[in-house]
Structure 1
Amino acid sequence: MTTFDYGPIEFYAIGFEGDRPGPAVLQAIDDLVAAGTVNVLDLVFARRSPEGEIEVLELSDTIDDGAPALDLAGLASQDDILYLAENLEPGSSAAILVVELLWAKSFAAALYDAGGAVIAREGIPAPIVNAFLAENAD
């Protein structure tokens, strides 16, 4: 059976009002890491000034204590970050998070060994799922 060093990864741009997310967001990321669900590969912050300029801040520039350990800091390129942050409104910010999906690592190896591959993937944000289910509850 094939063994991969890393499982599938996903990039997320998580938007916030103001300069940056609060400490609860970092705690939630730490909880996912501690549970073995994900491995944080890279995390940077982008913010759009009121004048419309995008500034990119490395994690080490924004957090003194309690920052998660990053396995592959720098994996998100400047082009990736600017692409993911392009829809930021002036005065808002985003956490650009790159995570390895640890739960899918052995599944990815099994797919590879079987000659299979994921050919499409679509995510649905939790607020939309929950709103839909609440509207359609019996």
Structure 2
Amino acid sequence: MTDFDYGPIEFYAIGFDGDRPGPAVLQAIDDLVAAGTVNVLDLVFARRSPEGEIEVLELSDTIDDGGAPALDLAGLAGQDDILYLVEGLEPGKSAAILVVELLWAKAFASRLWEAGGAVIAREGIPAPVVNAFLSENAE
């Protein structure tokens, strides 16, 4: 049996008004970790100044009370990744760049590999889009 050290990972850019997300963001991430859904590999914050400049903040620069989650692979999101993900960030807004391992998919990926298969394409649809579509098309 093939056991991968890590399952599939995903990068998320989560946008916010203002220069940094509130503490509820870290709580939502902690809830996912506690449920065993994801493993947080990296988390950084970026903000675009009113002049249009991007500033990248490490997690430790944004947490005052020591309540930061443990990061398995801090630094995994490189500068190029971050700049790509926040390309459309408007001045005066911020984003959390979250890199997570999908724990629910780890065993599935191992079994696919053993069977000679692999995921060759994936497309995500954000929850607001799904819900808007379903509410517009409800019978």
Structure 1 counterpart of 2:85: 84
- Greater shift, 98-107 or 82-91, is seen at 82-91
Residue correspondence of structure 1 range 1-138 to structure 2 within 5 A: 1-65=1-65, 66-138=67-139
- Partners of 2:44 and 2:130 lie apart in 1 by 27
Describe the superposition over 1:62-86 as per-residue Cα deviations: whole angstroms up to 9, x where unpaired: 1022111111100101111111111
| 4+ residue runs over 4 A deviation | none
Q: CA RMSD in A?
A: 0.7
Counterpart AA for 2:115: A
- Partners of 1:114 and 1:50 lie apart in 2 by 52
- Partners of 2:40 and 2:21 lie apart in 1 by 17
Structure 1: unaligned runs, 5 residues or longer: none
Q: TM-score, normalised by structure 1?
A: 0.98
Counterpart AA for 1:11: F
Percent identical among aligned pairs is: 90
Structure 2: unaligned runs, 5 residues or longer: none
Describe the superposition over 1:5-30 as per-residue Cα deviations: whole angstroms up to 9, x where unpaired: 10000000011111111111110000
What's the CA shift for 1:45?
A: 0.2
